[in-house]
Amino acid sequence: MDYQLKDINDAVLHDPEAYARACDDGYQQKVVKAADLISKNMNSSPIVLLSGPSGSGKTTMALKIQEELNRRGIRAHTISLDKYFRTLNVETAPHTPDGELDYESPECLDMDLLNEHFSMLSEGREIRIPHFVFAEQRRSETKSTPLKLEKNEIAIFEGIHALNDDITQVHPEAFKLYVSARSNIRDGDKPVFKGTWMRLTRRVVRDLNFRGADAAFTLSLWANVRRGEKLYISPFKDRADYKFDSTLPYEVCVLKQYAKPLFEKIPPEIDRVDELKRILPAFEEFADMDDKYVLPNALIREFIGGGSYKY
């Protein structure tokens, strides 16, 4: 679904608080539908696989679904697939065409262990979820987390490769979700802000706020992130039982205050720089919206902070 710039600006200027709540309510209705479908699938499998590209809001969606299921008496556990990264071996790790380590590749994940754990959980056995030490690019040899699913419990595994055929063909009974910010914003027929720009803006703001990465670093990775999406994520999105559009129409009006100074520092030598430079003037098309109108449990709190969820 695409949105019209005039409708967004009129609503933000008229009553930003009511508009933010209406958009968040629309998002929550999608969460409720996802929870309905997951509940119906519980007799087939206690496993939920949640995939989506970078900046799509996978973590918040998983937490919101977990919250909704808990309200129904179904205890849900959310597990990041990042915990299943293999210990990095520079010689055997996948590389990009220009020789850099390819952190977007599914070969970085221990698919064999994941599939073993899915089977064990489905059979009511306990697993030990591994712990990956990102600072050292290795799996911990001592730290892990036990998990055993009882009746009325499910496990939500979220990550960019959750719908990869190496998983879904082994466990077709698992419920599969795909989330992305897929809507564009237009001024009449003219494109103003693309869904991929929305995800990049989210990621640039989040990486600075929570991951200690400046905008230049995040932007320099974007070309390879997009390459990885086209190779490793998008081809599997149609495996999903339910596709979820995480776009919030008001979010550019909020994110622009965080993102504008970051996009002013785009390194001139990076790939796709001409496209990235088009994002900065696009922010000026949107009315300003104070983040005080953004609820603590809103999706974009994952990126700007000040929210009620722990990530």
Task: Say what percent of the chain tops pLDDT 70.
Answer: 100
The pLDDT score that the predictor gives to residue 155 is 98
Least confident of 11-25, 76-90, 246-260: 76-90
- Report DSSP state, residue 88: P
Q: Indicate whether 102 pLDDT > 90.
A: no
> What confidence category does residue 271 fall into, taking pLDDT thresholds of 50, 70 and 90?
confident
The predicted model gives 265-275 an average pLDDT of 82
> What confidence category does residue 259 fall into, taking pLDDT thresholds of 50, 70 and 90?
very high
pLDDT, tens digit, 9 for 90 and up, residues 193-219: 999 999 999 999 999 888 888 888 888
The predicted model gives 227-254 an average pLDDT of 96
The predicted model gives 59-65 an average pLDDT of 95
Q: Indicate whether 311 pLDDT > 80.
A: no
The pLDDT score that the predictor gives to residue 94 is 85
Query: Any bridge partners for residue 49, and if so which?
Result: 157, 176
The pLDDT score that the predictor gives to residue 35 is 98
Q: Indicate whether 296 pLDDT > 80.
A: yes
Token look-up 């299943």 returns 84
- Report DSSP state, residue 101: B
The pLDDT score that the predictor gives to residue 137 is 84
> What confidence category does residue 266 fall into, taking pLDDT thresholds of 50, 70 and 90?
confident
pTM of the predicted model as reported, rounded to 2 decimal places: 0.93
Whose CA is closest to 204, among 158, 246, 261?
Answer: 261
**Helix, coil or strand: residue 231:** helix
Cα angle 107-236-238, degrees, rounded to a multiple of 5: 165
> What confidence category does residue 310 fall into, taking pLDDT thresholds of 50, 70 and 90?
confident
Task: Say what percent of the chain tops pLDDT 90.
Answer: 81
The predicted model gives 113-124 an average pLDDT of 96
Ordered structural domains, the chain, with CATH? 3-304 (3.40.50.300)
**Residues 184 and 195 sit within 8 Å (Cβ to Cβ):** yes
Backbone φ, ψ for residue 141 (5° rounding):
-90, -10
> What confidence category does residue 107 fall into, taking pLDDT thresholds of 50, 70 and 90?
very high
The pLDDT score that the predictor gives to residue 265 is 80
Please, what is the average pLDDT of the chain? 94
The pLDDT score that the predictor gives to residue 164 is 97
The predicted model gives 153-159 an average pLDDT of 97
Single-letter amino acid, residue 289: M
> What confidence category does residue 83 fall into, taking pLDDT thresholds of 50, 70 and 90?
very high
